[in-house]
Amino acid sequence: EIVLTQSPATVSLSPGDRVTLSCGASQSITSNFLAWYQQKPGLGPRLLIYDASTRATGTPDRFSGWGTGTDFTLTIDGVEPEDFAVYYCQQYGSSPPITFGPGTKVEIK
Amino acid sequence: EVQLLESGGGLVKPGGSLRLSCAASGFIFSRYSMNWVRQVPGKGLEWVSSITSSGTDTYYADSVKGRFTISRDNAQNSLFLQVSNLRAEDTAIFYCARALRGAKGSPIDFWGQGTLVTVSS
């Protein structure tokens, strides 16, 4: 089973800031099958990025994903008020099982 | 508009059972693999189970294998999860979730709002 780690655990930002969230894998992820999700309180997660760098339908272009092998990033270029949430990475290259990272909370400074 | 509406959660005693349901609409249900993913309130996400579009193949996390059973009724656009022999550590919000492409090698592109299962005496 591939174990994912995320850093930082929490980041405090002001609207307009640029931030890069990291996701590391315990072994190389097949075909860079890595996704990023956004979750707000009381709601199910929302798919933002899949296959490491492909934006899902409706994902604003201020979100970008990058990475290969064991190291992946999600960048938000110009944080908007609606972006304050928890972000999870997920690997599906060696599935089942699908595994998720522990999450990064993006909070308002 | 894709919609996934879970139901069937509730309070159950250790060792008890529940049947969770997910009503799907807004897409051709029979063409998509589906998943159940759970989340302890305030904690992270844990994949539970997947089923292929036809229902032929099913997959389970080790933590639930032998206790949970996933199934679907394509005629009724419904997904199910029979949860049995429940433990306190099964307490979680259970999400119904659609796979973008197949049961393996696929991200999840739509999630429901979840149904809460609480296991307590």
Contact B105 A33 (CB under 8 A): yes
pLDDT at residue A94 greater than cutoff 90: no
pLDDT per residue as tens digits for the range B53-86: 999 999 999 999 999 999 999 999 999 999 999 9
- Nearest residue to A52 (alpha-carbon basis) of A26, A34, A70: A34
The pLDDT score that the predictor gives to residue B29 is: 97
pLDDT at residue A48 greater than cutoff 90: yes
Residues of chain B scoring pLDDT < 70: none
C-alpha–C-alpha distance, residues A48 and A96, integer Å: 21
Contact A103 B95 (CB under 8 A): no
Chain B positions in Cβ-Cβ contact with residue A56 (cut-off 8 Å): 109
B64: phi then psi, degrees, rounded to nearest 5: -125, -5
Contact B50 A56 (CB under 8 A): no
The pLDDT score that the predictor gives to residue B15 is: 97
pLDDT at residue A103 greater than cutoff 90: yes
In this complex, how many residue pairs, one in chain A and one in chain B, have their CB atoms less than 8 Å apart? 72
Q: Omega before A102 cis (within 30°)?
A: no
The pLDDT score that the predictor gives to residue B54 is: 96
Rounded to a whole number of angstroms, the distance from the CA of A85 to the nearest CA of chain B is 12
Percentage of the residues of chain A whose pLDDT score is greater than 90:
95
What average pLDDT does chain A have? Answer: 96
C-alpha–C-alpha distance, residues B70 and B64, integer Å: 11
With residue A104 as reference, give the H or E element that holds it: strand A104-108
Closest in B45, B103, B104 to A100, CB measured: B45
The pLDDT score that the predictor gives to residue A35 is: 98
The pLDDT score that the predictor gives to residue A96 is: 85
Amino acid code (one letter) for A47: L
Decide if A93 touches B, using CB distance below 8 A: yes
